[in-house]
Structure 1
Amino acid sequence: MNHSNLTILSVISNFVIVILKLIIGFFTGSVAVISEGIHSSMDLFASVITFFSIRIAGRPADEDHPYGHGKAENIAGTIETLLIFVAGIWIISESVEKFLDPKEIRFPALGIAVMLFGAAVNIIISRVINRAAKKANSVAMKSNALHLFTDVFTSLGIALSLLLVYLTGWLWLDPVIAIITAIYIMFEAWQLLKESFPPLMDERLSKKEEAEIKRIILTHKAEFIEFHDFRSRRAGAEEYIDFHLVVPSEMTIEKAHSLCDEIETEIGDFYSKAQVLIHLEPEEERIYSKKV
């Protein structure tokens, strides 16, 4: 199943789950179920954003976007996380009001049933999408999978809270669990925001990633003198790497080109979508070289 079909599946499943949760939430009067319905509606919107962002990010580079459209995924991931923060704040606000003025929950079994159904569906779909996201190194798909996976835990937590309310009669448990749910999803959103936003500012790859790329370059150190001005960044599922490579002045253009091809191929084995730019410098032009 391709990425577009996976995202469509996510949209359809989320739509069904949102409708069920909201209907049952208002029917039972459970703020926890309603809050989970709002959370799932954010997942639905996120799935729609993911669908379009993947289509945009997959477009090849053009005259107006010579570096491609990869950052569309980062923009989508950032928007999705901000939506989760908004949903979390709304849930906490409603829960505090319900805590101060608790009301009896009607037919809690219905709420428990819809929570368990939503958790079962989302755990399957989130795992499928997450596997595809790892293969494609897609930030938007990872974001979508995370939304669905957090929905599993929040749904199970709310099902447990409804069961406890039914067994104990402690109505305050409903808004308290809702608040805990909101805090949890906001924490997960923060973790994702730290992954999706930095590439929008062209943040470099991690030290571990750069060290591995430099190790690949240095496996050819017998053929060049040094390399400097190393830079890296990420946009969506693609990595951009460029550096200056100083070669012996007697090296032929053909040999230097072949060396660059080898380095680019090996970096490509490490990052399948890496865009590598190597600026060749003959030895006598090395004046202000920077130590790597």
Structure 2
Amino acid sequence: MQINQNKRKIRLILLSFLMSILLSGIKFLAYYLTDSNAILSDALESIINIFASGFALYSIRLSALPKDTNHPYGHGKIEFFSAGFEGGLIITAAVFICVGAIQRFLEPAPLANLSLGSGLIAITVIINGGIGYYLVKEGKAHNSLALVADGRHLLSDAVSSVILVASVVMVLFTGLEWIDSAASLFFGVLIAFNGFQLLRKSVAGLMDESDRNLLENVVEAIRQHKKDYWVDVHNLRVQQYGADLHIDTHLTLPYYWTLQQSHEAVREFENVLKENHPGETEIFVHADPCLPQCCYFCRLDDCPVRQHAFQHDIDWDVVNLAKNQKLFTEVKIG
């Protein structure tokens, strides 16, 4: 299953890489025909697509490799590097685009064949938009940051191209050629913002920043399958590396259980989490023995050592389960 997912991701990013080469050629042809600075900006940004898709292809192939002695947690983090690399390239291109736009403001040049050029760019909008949407959809389905980043890059490229086509049409109708440079400058600022967003996502992943949505999905799976003998869950930590999910947590179980009973309960807990994630899931569960204070929120009816009557449940939410302490320390008993 995992092997098929990896092959599919590689095919998708290879499609993106090949189409980026084709679309780049079309955009430079449009620039050659029109001498439009806005179209040149779009063409320069498309070169970034080629390098970004190439690096994404490499990162996906590397992230698909199994764990080894040097990489006990797998190779999934390479996808964060891929997104960061793409973001850096986008920001670099944005700088060159803005500089070129300012120079064209200072030194205007005549434009030509705008109708044909805008038609060629319109073709790239349709192709980029379609492939970008598909990559984002598949990337989310397979938990691949590299695919999502490349897809969003293509979508932003398509949106930017729409703006550029609109600017070219405005030049055709108004004859105001400075609109071309203004659109180029706006385009540069827009892709710089997109590049910053990718860099932000990359750094967050490399620094193991908590993903709120991912954590909420794991907590919801635990809540839906909660057993009476899962007395308490705390110190829950969740990280996504490529398609691989890593979870570690503490699970409180009845202290009088045998080692075999605790082992089976932990395995059941792990299976619940694995069944709710499509990729590889690595789970480390530390089993804690219950304490007398746990009786106040423990629903285990046939407990032979209960010291206090059940009073109320504790809400198993993201905040509570992520705390590095047993939940009864936060509860007022009375």
TM-score, with structure 1 as normaliser: 0.91
1: distance between equivalents of 2:78 and 2:209?
16
Q: Which moved more, 1:51-60 or 1:222-231?
A: 222-231
Q: Greater helix share, 1 or 2?
A: 1
Matched, 1:29 2:43: no
TM-fit CA distance, 1:148: 1.0
Whether 2:279 is the aligned partner of 1:244: answer no
Counterparts of 2:113 and 2:217 in 1: how far apart (Å)?
Answer: 57
Partner of 1:214: 219
Aligned to 2:283: 276
Q: CA RMSD in A?
A: 2.1
Task: Give the partner amino acid of 1:277.
Answer: F
The residue matched to 2:228 in structure 1 has which SS? helix
- Please identify, of 186-195 and 64-73, the stretch whose mean Cα deviation from structure 2 is larger: 186-195
Counterpart of 1:138 in structure 2: which amino acid?
Answer: S
Report the more deviating stretch, 157-166 or 63-72.
Answer: 157-166
Q: What is the match of residue 147 of structure 2?
A: 141
Counterpart of 2:163 (choices 139, 145, 157) is: 157
Shift of 1:229: 2.8
Matched AA of 2:326: K
Identity of aligned residues (%): 27
For these two proteins, the number of residue pairs brought into alignment is 288
**Conserved 8 A contact 2:129-2:158:** yes
Match of 1:179?
185
- Computing the radius of gyration from Cα coordinates, the structure with the larger value is 2
Which residue is equivalent to 1:7? 13
Unaligned runs of 5+ in 1: none
User: How big is the shift at 1:283?
Assistant: 4.0
Partner of 1:202: 208
| Mean Cα deviation higher: 20-29 or 138-147 | 20-29
Partner of residue 38, structure 1: 44
Equivalent residue of 1:280, what SS?
strand
- Structure 1 residue 158 displacement after superposition: 1.1
CA 209–146 in structure 1, closer or farther in 2 if over 3 Å, else same = closer
Say if 1:200 and 1:235, in contact at 8 Å, map to a contact too.
no
Q: How many angstroms does 1:231 deviate by?
A: 2.2
Map Cα deviations across residues 188-231 of structure 1 (whole Å, 9 max, x no partner): 2233333332110111231x543443354455352133233322
C-alpha displacement of 1:49: 0.9
Query: In the alignment, what sits opposite 1:167?
Result: 173
Q: Identify the residue that residue 101 of structure 1 maps to in structure 2.
A: 107
